[in-house]
Each structure stands twice: as C-alpha cells, then as structure tokens.
Structure 1
Amino acid sequence: MMRGAGLSVLGSLIAGPAMASGYIPGFETRDTLGSHAECVARLEAAAGQAAAAVEPKTVRPDGSTREVTLEPITQGVERANAQQARYRAKLWYAHGTPRADIGRMEYSASWQETNLTCDGKVLITHNSQGYTSSAFGPLDTPPASETP
C-alpha cells in the first residue's frame, strides 16, 4: 500500500513544467563496517568527492551556462564524540539558457544532499535530491565568434 503512495508522489514530482520545484526524499540505509575509523574514512571520502565535483561557471558558444557549487551544511566531517561523526553538504547544479524569444536568460538548478552519520561502526546514509523552479535574468551576451 505504501509503495503505491510513494510512486504517486514521485510521479507528481517529475510531472514536468506544471511543477514549480520538487524534493525527492531519500531513504535511510545502515551499513555495519569493520570499525568506527573505517566509517569516518567513508565520510571523509564523501567530503573529498563533493569538493572535487565543484566546477566554476562556464559559458558555451551558444551562451548557455553551467556551474556546480558546494553548500556545506556541516563544517566538513564533524565529530560529536569518540563514537559519533557526521557529514552533510549539498551539491548545486546550476544551468542558464539564453531565451532569445523573450530576451532573457532562463536559470534552473538541481541539488543533491549528502547526509552521512557514523554511530560507532554503523554508517547511516540518508541522501535526498530536488530542483528549483526556473528564474529569469538579463540575457548574457554570448561570446563573440572569431572571424578569420
């Protein structure tokens, strides 16, 4: 019964242009690792992967843009005590598309949140994702094409 309700919610989230923004909650998983140190190493690896995913804003010849930014929620891997640690951050994927038909740039963004906790040697994962509605701004001037 719950399964059908979940599919209905998911279907409404990806329905398309009628939706302004959306949130897709993750589900919790628990993995028992060999030690607390191994668990913390997984958190540190996730923090490194998120930092490596950051990309500065680029502009393509057609004037479209792309940028990946990292929004830290915790200050890196935080340790509450000798047996508990956590890491939380959001990666934002921002895109801009020139809309000559309306003389504006259309911007949209999606995000993925990483939420990891070590409770002793148990790694608790609860990630989520979502997207924002489109926003409009001034039309950026596309790079000038080179002429021979």
Structure 2
Amino acid sequence: MTDLQMEVEVDTNSSLQESLPKPQVMYRCKKCRRIVAIEENIVPHEPGKGEECFAWKKRSGNSEQVQCSSIFVEPMKWMQTIHDGMVEEKLLCFGCNGRLGYFNWAGMQCSCGAWVNPAFQLNKSRIDECKSEPNPNLNMET
C-alpha cells in the first residue's frame, strides 16, 4: 500500500467517525419518564463563588464549593404557566403534573451562587439524565 492510499484510508476512517452521531443527553421526568429537555435546551452558566454569593442568613458556614442542584433551560412549549402570563411560578410536568422546578422571568440564584436571568430551573432531583445511543442498525460503510 502506498503512502497516498494510507492517507486516503485514514482520512476516510476519521470522516466516518466524525459523521457518526454523538449520544445526545435527554432529561426525563422521574415520575412519568417524559422527555422534558434535551442537551440543546440547556442554558449554561458560570459557577458562582458558593456561599460568598448568598446573604449572610442563608450561609451555613461551610466554605466548600457547592455543585449545582439544578439545570437551567430555555423556555419551552410544554411550560404552560409561561404561556398563561405568569412572571414566576412552579414548572409542572406536562405528562404527570409533577413539580419539576421553578421559573422566574426576573432571574434566580443557583445553588452554586451564580445568577441566571431569566431563570427556568429544573431540579436535578426531579429529573433523570439519559444518554441516547446512536442507532447500531445504521451501516455507515459505503
């Protein structure tokens, strides 16, 4: 095999790997298993400085870095209370009507201390993070 053939073969293999779909992260209601958000709906935020960001009454004296207990998403169609004109309210699952989180158009503070404006917060304790696997039945070879 010549060097040119080896380069073409390596390029072909790398392009096949790049074209394979990556597993997508989905978030499901723990109660009824309906999909409530996907990875593209997540609104990232910079972690805050922990308890330094909270009022002194909310501090516990523990100086450890706190992980986020929620994810923040963009507003979605299933969030009925948003469409009803509410400024802040609970977010209920559209399948089982279970409480998933809270929203506030003025924003809210994450458990890590960062402020997110506007805030559509889903509690991690109420949702499951699932990864969808690429379809193994797809034959990517030509």
Same fold (TM over 0.5): no
> Rg larger in 1 or in 2?
2
Higher share in helix: 2
Whose strand fraction is larger, Structure 1's or Structure 2's? 1
TM band (smaller chain): under 0.3
Give the TM-score normalised by the residue count of structure 1.
Answer: 0.24
